[in-house]
Chains A and B, each alone.
Chain A
Amino acid sequence: MHKQIMTVLVFTKLQTRRFFRDRLAQFFAILFPLIFLFVFGGLNSGSNNLSFKVAIFNDSNSVFSKQFVKQIEANSVFKVNKTLTSQSAAQDKMDKNQLDGMIILPKNFGEVAPGQTTPSGQIQVLYDHTSSNTGQTLTTILDSYVKQINSKLASAPQPFSVAGKELNSKSLTAFDYTFAGLLGFTIVGLGIFGPVNVFPELKKQGILRRLHTTPLRVWQYFMATMFSQAATGSISIGIQFIVAITIFHLKVDGNYLAIIAFTVLSIFMILGIGLAIGGWAKNERQAAPLSNIIVFPMLFLSGTFFPRFLMPHWLQTISDYLPLTPVIDGLRLLITEGKSLAQVGPEIGLILIWFVVIYAIAFRVFKWE
């Protein structure tokens, strides 16, 4: 047994060393996920502040209306597009989803009507029916805005009021969701595309067949691949953490040891899919289509590129059980929600079940040539 483990360790050492000489492997393991990180990180930065892109059309000449427009423009909730001069131009922008709504102050808005002591008027909010959620929110915000003005003008007692207060400083940003997904993407890239590309080539050249003339066992070869993948994967993921923390201000609330342990377990499990496909396939023509059929739906359904809560409910139910889903969910819970390993027990359980299933298949279908 001691000798068999020595075999595994020597193979691990040599495979890992080989990685540091293979520029292509390094590109796909490290640089490629990093490019995605920059793209998605750039897309999501700062987008967690609520804001509306609006155009304001003031048809009134009153002093009040002009002040009102200035206040709206000064408010960070509104991003006022001042280049739009006509309502039809704004309508066009709205059709293209480049504008959330129009605020129209009608004629006589803010004037003091005969017999009144205070200014009055009605604001019109126009929004596209395809973004009615945004439009209604915009209306509500303007409504509460107007009520504040009303209370100052009328100075009537206010029996009810609502005070908003930010409770959870750990609330998730879009980037937090993206980051866990990108780590999942990295693990898939390493664990599946690695062996799927390498094994058929090794078979074609007869390199695996040559190894088969020795007493080397499949489990030894698999285990060495698992260890060296865990090493190279940790480097890649470590670099992504550094970039995410320094450039995209990722807040890591979890325990790093727990994150590492969970990541390594995930790498082992996902690698099994690559070992099964690459080990089964006789050549690239068998390996490439099968891996694409398995990988791409899984990437999308498991919430790699966008959060799963955006999917219809029935699709979420299916994707709950895919192998990559507990990996991404677990990583997010550990990294940004500060959960402990015990709290991600269900995710770990599902990963372990997949681990057993996947490796049972991988051992059964493995061919040396």
Chain B
Amino acid sequence: MSKVILSVKKLRKVYDDKVAVDDISFEVKKGEIFGILGPNGAGKTTTLEMIESLRPIDGGEIIIDGLNVADKPDEVKKIIGVQPQTPAFQDKQKISEIVEMFAAAYGERVNPKKFLDEVQLGEKANSFAEKLSGGQRQRLSIAVALVHSPKVFFLDEPTTGLDPQARRNLWDLIGNVRDKGVTVIMTTHYMEEAEVLCDRVAIMDNGKIVALDTPKNLVKQLLGRGFKKKQIVEQADLEDVFIDLTGKALRE
């Protein structure tokens, strides 16, 4: 059993009279990719933002790597990397400058080229941020979230709006980050993405966690309850056809 790096206990957030996050508790182990799934408005982003110390915590407790988020938000910010839902960057800045700027925000000086190479943007180092495609912007966003070698990396719906090639490419990148020993916590709408990437997933609905296990176990439990799909599953689906016809290479 590996070490717990994030522990959330009875976390609560109330907006006016609506309970957005309703006393949820879970733990994330060091080095795993943990997925938070759920429909829009389930409370995924709010949960993430409380853990990232961007939103006040109305109740409960969050401990990251031994630090209480409510007490030491600035210490927490130094050990986490955050990829927001829609990454945006100031225009008229070269992407190497953007990497330099984020490193400076953490009080560090880095070689921007090295970080851009890791997300295959090395050749674009002198391009302006506004010239990037959606997938490139997501990759730049990952690069700047990792400039300070964080212990925990948060991604909020990283592949929304990307084409299948860009999405698969991002999966590889996220896998690489995990392979370096960084714990990854992400939200997503795509079940297939969660199945490929996540070691464990929590499914949220109406501010509560309704299930938490490995994707395989969750499927097993469902089948155990006597669930049967109406149609026989094909050995391939339309996305497999699409990727077979158009290839896996990134289009930009």
Contacts and interface: CB of A to CB of B under 8 A. Distances in A.
Q: Select the residue from A17, A206, A212, A215 with max chain B CB neighbours within 10 A.
A: A215
Nearest to A9: B104
Contacts of A216: 105
A210 interface: yes
Given A10-B100, A14-B100, A214 B106 contact: yes
A17 B102 contact: no
Contact of B54 (A10, A21, A213): A213
Interface in B20-58: 52, 54
A14 B78 contact: no
B184 interface: no
Contacts of A214: 77, 102, 105-106
Main secondary structure of the interface of A (DSSP, over half): helix
Interface string A1-31: 0011011001100100110011000000000
Contacts of A211: 105
A213 B106 contact: no
B92 A22 contact: yes
Q: Select the residue from B82, B88, B104, B109 with max chain A CB neighbours within 10 A.
A: B104
B89 A207 contact: yes
Contacts of A209: 54, 84
A209 B77 CA distance: 13
Contact of B104 (A10, A205, A206): A10
A257 to B, nearest CB: 31
B100 A205 contact: no
A202 interface: yes
B90 interface: yes
Given A6-B107, A10-B101, A210-B87, A18 B54 contact: no
Interface string A285-326: 000000000000000000000000000000000000000000
Nearest to B80: A213
B90 A215 contact: no
Interface in A189-233: 202, 205-207, 209-216
A14 B101 contact: yes
Interface in A210-260: 210-216
Nearest to A4: B107
Q: Which size bracket describes the interface of B in this complex?
A: 20 to 34
Contacts of B90: 18, 202, 207
Interface string A256-280: 0000000000000000000000000
B105 A206 contact: no
Contacts of A212: 54
Nearest to A204: B88
Nearest to A7: B104
B61 interface: no
Nearest to B101: A14
A215 B74 contact: yes
A132 B92 CA distance: 59
B92 A18 contact: yes
B111 interface: no
B133 interface: no
B221 interface: no
A10 B98 CA distance: 11
Contacts of A21: 92
Nearest to B103: A10
Contacts of B101: 10-11, 14
Contacts of A202: 90
B97 interface: yes
Interface in B65-100: 74, 77-78, 80, 82, 84, 86-90, 92-93, 97, 100
- Sorted nearest first, the 10 A-B pairs with minimum C-beta distance are A10-B104, A3-B107, A214-B105, A205-B88, A213-B82, A216-B105, A21-B92, A215-B77, A7-B104, A18-B92
Given A210-B88, A216-B105, 12 more contacts: A3-B108, A6-B104, A6-B107, A14-B97, A14-B100, A18-B90, A202-B90, A206-B88, A207-B89, A214-B102, A214-B105, A215-B77
Interface of A: 3-4, 6-7, 10-11, 14, 17-18, 21-22, 202, 205-207, 209-216
Interface of B: 52, 54, 74, 77-78, 80, 82, 84, 86-90, 92-93, 97, 100-102, 104-109
